[in-house]
A and B are shown apart, each in its own frame.
Chain A
Amino acid sequence: QKEVEQDPGPLSVPEGAIVSLNCTYSNSAFQYFMWYRQYSRKGPELLMYTYSSGNKEDGRFTAQVDKSSKYISLFIRDSQPSDSATYLCAMKRGGADGLTFGKGTHLIIQP
């Protein structure tokens, strides 16, 4: 079992739809949870960062962490064609650790 599982998609939805992206993980020591967005032939860029369990909202994006279920989600409201990208979940135990990434979900927003 991989430490972080993420459905690679592709996930195709019409413009304006609510998008739900998810990851599960097996390492209960993970404390910090992130979502990165990666456009084709570009490096990942940080979208959302959450510590421990709970919700965090930033504009059209909401991140949720459920540590009891080892499950994290990213919701995108009013999706736009410019949201088409690969979304990578990432997590770390803390301190000096590097990030452990999921495979990434390829999202396509149809105009």
Chain B
Amino acid sequence: EAGVAQSPRYKIIEKRQSVAFWCNPISGHATLYWYQQILGQGPKLLIQFQNNGVVDDSQLPKDRFSAERLKGVDSTLKIQPAKLEDSAVYLCASSPLSGNTGELFFGEGSRLTVL
């Protein structure tokens, strides 16, 4: 079974530039998450989708971050304009359904450096 795919793996940009990350979840997984992991910190939930609807985006900085999952499959996370504090690993995860178990399947992440 193929895992969660993310691209690009690494991205370096200057502040005020824009960047987009792509995620393809495990086939058949209805729930998709984007997490931000700053160096030395645990992952922080940015947004959670159930199929193509948003379940939770309370911690997404909506003035600069946006995310979509138009067909309920793959998803894109965009940052515009980027700030220095956005330097982090952006992890995508998926799960079969929005249920009570805690098993999220994570991708390897997209590492962003903002100069």
A-B contacts counted at CB < 8 A amount to 65
Contact, CB under 8 Å: B50 / A96: yes
Across-interface contacts of B43 in A (CB, < 8 A): 44, 88, 99, 101
A32 at the interface (CB under 8 A from B): yes
Q: How far is the CB of A63 from chain B (nearest CB, A)?
A: 11
Chain B residues with Cβ under 8 A from A34's Cβ? 102
Whether a CB of chain B sits under 8 angstroms from the CB of A41 is yes
Complex contacts, A103 vs chain B, CB 8 Å: 40-42
Q: Which of B1-56 contact A (CB under 8 A)?
A: 4, 33, 40-45, 48, 50, 55-56
B42 and A96 contact, CB distance less than 8 A: no
Give complex CA distance A92, B107 in Å.
20
User: Is A98 among interface residues, defined by CB-CB distance under 8 A?
Assistant: yes
A51 CB contacts on chain B under 8 angstroms:
100
Number of interface residues of B (CB under 8 A): 25
**Interface check B104, CB cutoff 8 A:** yes
Interface residues of B (CB under 8 A from A): 4, 33, 40-45, 48, 50, 55-56, 91, 93, 98, 100-104, 106-109, 111
Q: Assuming A51-B100, A101-B43, A104-B42, what are 18 further A-B pairs, CB within 8 angstroms?
A: A8-B40, A32-B102, A42-B109, A43-B93, A44-B91, A46-B103, A49-B101, A88-B42, A88-B43, A94-B100, A96-B48, A96-B50, A98-B48, A98-B55, A98-B56, A99-B102, A99-B104, A102-B42
